[in-house]
Amino acid sequence: MGQNGAVLRKCRGRPQIRSDEETRTLIVEAAAEEFQANGYAAATMSAVAQRAGISTKTMYRLIPCKADLFKSVIETRIARFMLDFDLKALDNYELEKAVEYILLAFGSLTLNKETIALVRLVISESDRFPELAATFHQVAVVQTTGAIAKWLEVQRERGRLKFDDVHAAVAALRGMMTMDLQRTAMLSLSEVPTPEEIVKHARFCAKLFVSGCRA
C-alpha cells in the first residue's frame, strides 16, 4: 500500500509533456505582454521566459533573439486576420456585404488595445530600432494590403468594381476603416472602439466604397 502511494505521488509530480509549438505559443503571448508592459528596449529574453514559465535555454532554442520575438508577435496577430480573410467564402456574399466582411476583419485586427499598443511601440522606438518599423511594415502592412488587393483585383476582372489603381483603392479602404479611430485611440482622445462600433463603421465604409467603385 505504501509503495503504491509512493508511485502515485511520483506520477503526480511528473511535468506534463508540451510540444514545441505549444511552448512557442506561450512564448509569443508572454512577449506581447512584456513588450506592452515595458517597451521593446527594456524587454529582455529572460523576462519573457519568466512570464512564459520556461527556461531561457528553451526560449533561445525556439526563438533565438528579441527581434525574432517581435516578428513572431506581429505574425501571430496577422495570422488571425489571414484566417478570417477567406477569398472563396467571400464569393458567397453580395458585393457590399463582402466588402463589409473584409473591413470588419481588418477593423477587428487594427482597432483593439493590443494592436494599438504595438503601433505605439513601433512609433516610439523605431528611431532607436529601425528594424521594428521595417518588420511591422513587411509583416503587417504588406500582407494585409496584398490580401485585400488580390480580392479587389478579382472583382475588377469580374466587372463588379471599377477603379484605376488597386493600391490606391486598398489605401482608401484601410484609411476609411481605421485611420481616425486608431489615431484618436492612440492619442488617448477616445476609447478603443467596441465590437458593435466596429461593425457599424465597417458597414458604413463598405457602402461608401462600393457606391463609389461599383462598375
Q: What is the CATH number of the domain that holds 43?
A: 1.10.10.60
Residue 6 confidence (pLDDT): 46
pLDDT given for residue 86 in this prediction: 72
Question: Which residues constitute the domain of residue 46?
Answer: 17-64
Q: CA-based Rg of the chain, rounded to a whole angstrom?
A: 22
Spatial contact of 182 and 110, defined as CB atoms under 8 Å apart: yes
- pLDDT for 54: 94
Does residue 101 share a domain with residue 22?
no
Q: Determine the Cα–Cα distance for residues 48 and 135; give it in Å rounded to an integer.
A: 20
For each successive 10 residues of the chain (215 residues), what is the average pLDDT? 46 64 94 94 95 94 95 91 75 92 93 92 94 94 92 94 95 95 93 96 96 89
**Total structural domains within the chain:** 2
* CATH code of the domain containing 185: 1.10.357.10
pLDDT at 12: 47
Element holding 66 (H helix, E strand):
helix 66-84
- Half-sphere exposure of residue 198, counting CA atoms within 13 Å on the CB side? 19
CA distance 32 to 24: 12
